Amino acid sequence: MDFEVWPEAIELGRMFAAEGYELALVGGPVRDLLLHRRSHDLDFCTSARPEQFEPILRRFGHDGFWDMGRKFGTLGAMRRRDDGTEVKVEVTTYRSDTYDPDSRKPEVQYGDTLEGDLSRRDFTVNAMALRVPDLEFVDPFGGANDLAKGVLRTPVDPRQSFDDDPLRMMRAVRFVAQLGFSIEPETAEAISAMTERISIVSAERVRDELTKLLLSDRPRAGIEALVESGLADIVLPEIPALELQIDEHHRHKDVFEHTMIVLDRAVALETGEDGPVPRPDLTLRLAAIMHDVGKPKTRRFEPGGKVSFHHHDAVGAKLTRKRLKALRFDHHIVDDVSELVNLHLRFHGYVDEPWTDSAVRRYVKDAGHLYERLNRLTRADATTQNRRKARIFAEAMDEMEARVKELKEKEDFDAIRPDLDGNEIMEILGLEPGPMVGQAYRHMLEYRLDNGPVDHDTAVAELKRWASR
What are the tens digits of pLDDT across the range 271-328? 999 999 999 999 999 999 999 999 998 888 878 778 878 889 999 999 999 999 999 9
Extents of the domains making up the chain: 1-148, 150-236, 240-253+265-415, 422-468
3-state helix, strand, coil split of the chain in percent (to 5) is: 55, 10, 30
CATH 1.10.110.30 correct for 150-236: yes
pLDDT at 100: 55
Question: Contact at 8 Å (CB) between 43 and 72?
Answer: no
Rounded to an integer, the average pLDDT of 423-452 is 80
Burial of 402 (0-12, 13-18, 19+ CB in 10 A): exposed
What are the angstrom distances between the C-alpha of 255 and each of 102, 314, 347? 36, 17, 20
230 Ramachandran zone, left/alpha/beta (phi>0; psi -120 to 50): left
What is the pLDDT confidence band of residue 247, given thresholds at 50, 70 and 90?
very low
pLDDT in tens, 67-98: 999 998 999 999 998 888 889 999 999 987 55
pLDDT at 330: 97
Residue type, 314: A
Architecture of domain 1-148: 2-Layer Sandwich (3.30)
The answer, yes or no, to whether the previous bond of 280 is cis (omega within 30 of 0) is: yes
Question: Contact at 8 Å (CB) between 237 and 326?
Answer: no
What are the angstrom distances between the C-alpha of 156 and each of 122, 124, 192, 453? 9, 9, 17, 70
State the pTM of this model.
Answer: 0.82
pLDDT at 82: 85
What is the distance of C-alpha 376 from the center of its chain? 17
